[in-house]
Amino acid sequence: MGASKTVASRRHALLTGAAPEVRWEAQQAAQGASTFSVVLPLYNEEENIETLYRRLTAVMEGLGEPYEIIFVDDGSVDSSAEQVRVLHEGDTRVKLVRLARNFGHQAAISAGLDVACGQAVIIIDADLQDPPEVLPEFVATWREGYEVVYAIRQKRKEDALKRAAYYTFYRLLKRLAAIDIPLDSGDFCVMDRRVVDVLTAMPERNRFVRGIRAWVGFRQIGIPCERDCRQAGTPKYNLRKLMRLATDGLVSFSYIPLRLASLFGFVISAVAFALALWTIYEKLIHPDYIAGLTTIVVAVSLLGGIQLITLGIIGEYIGRIFDEVKQRPLYTVREVLGFDEQ
C-alpha cells in the first residue's frame, strides 16, 4: 500500500468515525513515518502556541529522529487553530486535528492517539505546565525498554485549594481503585506504540486516560518532574470539569462506592435491631410507655437521606453504563490538516 493511500484511508477512517478496528488497521499501515508523535490538546491556548512550538521544536530536533507534532484543537473559539495552520505552512511536521466542538481534554487526547503513528507517543499539555525540556530523559528511559514513562508531579505551583483537592483525590483513588494508579501522575508521558495500540482499541467512553494507561500494564515507570505555572491564559478546567474527571476516575476504577450501600444497610439494620430490643424492654418495664415522635422523625429522615445518597451513587454507575451502550463516538472531527504530505 502506498503511503498516500494509507494516509488517505486513515484520514477517511477518522472523518467518518470508523470502527476502532478499521482505524487501527489504517494506523498500523501508516506507521514508520515518524519515530515520535507529540500529542497536544488545545482549548483556547492562543497565547501559548508560539512559545510551545519553539521550545518543543528545540527539544525534538535535539532527539535527531523524525517526529510529528499533532495539535488537537478541542473546539477553541480563539485563534488557536489559525495559529497552528500558520505553523503548518512553515513546518509540515505540524499537524492539526480540529474537533467539531469542545469534547474535553480526555477526548482530545484520545483523538490525538488515534491519528498518531510514531513508535513512541508523547502526551503533553499545551499550557507549558509540563516542561518539554525533560523529554530527552523520558525518551532515554523509553529506549531502555519501559513502555510507559510518566511524570510524577513533585511540586504544584497552583493555589492551595487546588493542590489540596488534587492531593485528596489521588489518595482517595489510591485507596478505592481496584488497580494501582500511581499517586500524582498526570497525563504527561511517553508511551510505546504497543500501549497506544491497546489504548486506541479500547472502546471505553468515559476516559480517564491516566487510569486506563495504568490498567494496560507493561513496564511503567514514573519520573519526578516539577510542574510549572501555566505560561499564559487561564486554566481551561473549571470546577465542574474537574469534578467530572474525578468521578470518572473513581467510578471507572472502583466498585467500593456501590458497596457503601450494603454497608449502610448493615449498620442501619444493627441500630434498628438494638432500638427494637430497647423498645420492647421499655414496654415490659413501663406498661404505659409510648415511643417518642422524635425517634420516628429521626429514623425516617436518616433512612430517607441514606437511600437518596445510595440512589445517587447507583445513578453515577448507571449513567456511565448508558454512555457506554449508546456507543457514540468519543469525538467528531471537523477538519484535519497535514496528514497527507508525508
Residue 45 sits in the site that holds ligand UDP (CB under 6 A): yes
| CA pair distance 157, 245, nearest whole angstrom | 20
Site for ligand UDP in 211-270 (CB under 6 A): 230, 235-237
Residue 220 contacts which entry, ligand UDP, Mg ion, none (Cβ below 5-8 A, type-dependent): none
Q: Of all helices (H) and strands (E), which one includes residue 222?
A: strand 220-227
**Between residues 26 and 99, which has the closer beta carbon with respect to ligand UDP?**
99
Q: Which stretch binds ligand UDP (CB under 6 A): 123-131, 148-156, 319-327, 334-342?
A: 123-131
How far is CA 131 from each of CA 100, 101, 189, rounded to the nearest angstrom? 29, 28, 11
Question: In terms of CB distance, is 169 or 264 closer to ligand UDP?
Answer: 169
Q: Are 100 and 165 in contact (CB under 8 A)?
A: no
Of 43 and 215, which CB lies nearer to ligand UDP in the complex structure? 43
Q: Which of 47, 104, 213, 253 binds ligand UDP (CB under 6 A)?
A: 104
C-beta closer to ligand UDP: residue 45 or 47: 45
CB 125, min distance to Mg ion, A: 5
How far CA 280 is from CA of 270, 274, 283, 291, 314, in Å, comes to 16, 10, 5, 10, 36
Q: With respect to ligand UDP, which residue has the nearer C-beta, 127 or 147? A: 127
The C-alpha cell 472531527 sits at 333
> Is residue 312 a contact point for ligand UDP (CB under 6 A)?
no
Task: Note whether 44 binds Mg ion by CB under 5 A.
Answer: no
Task: Give the number of residues written for the chain.
Answer: 342
Give the angle subtended at the CA of 183 by the CAs of 201 and 120, to the nearest 5°. Answer: 40
Interacting residue with ligand UDP among 47, 68, 125, 192 (CB under 6 A): 125
Q: HSE of 191 in the Cβ direction (CA atoms, 13 Å)?
A: 29
Kindly write down the DSSP assignment for every residue of 163-205, as one continuous string. Answer: HHHHHHHHHHHHHH-SS-PPTTEEEEEEEEHHHHHHHHH---S
Q: Which helix (H) or strand (E) holds 227?
A: strand 220-227
Q: From Mg ion, ligand UDP, none, which one binds at residue 43 (CB under 5 to 8 Å depending on kind)?
A: ligand UDP
CB under 5 to 8 A by kind: which of ligand UDP, Mg ion, none does 74 bind? ligand UDP
Q: In the complex, what is the shortest distance from the CB of residue 179 to ligand UDP, in angstroms, rounded to a whole number?
A: 22
> Cα torsion for 236, 237, 241, 244, to the nearest 10°?
140
Tell me: does residue 127 bind Mg ion (CB under 5 A): yes
Residue 326 makes CB contacts below 8 A (sequence gap 6+) with 205
Query: Contact positions toward Mg ion, by CB under 5 A?
Result: 127, 129
Query: Contact positions toward ligand UDP, by CB under 6 A?
Result: 41-43, 45, 74, 102, 104-105, 108, 125-127, 129, 230, 235-237
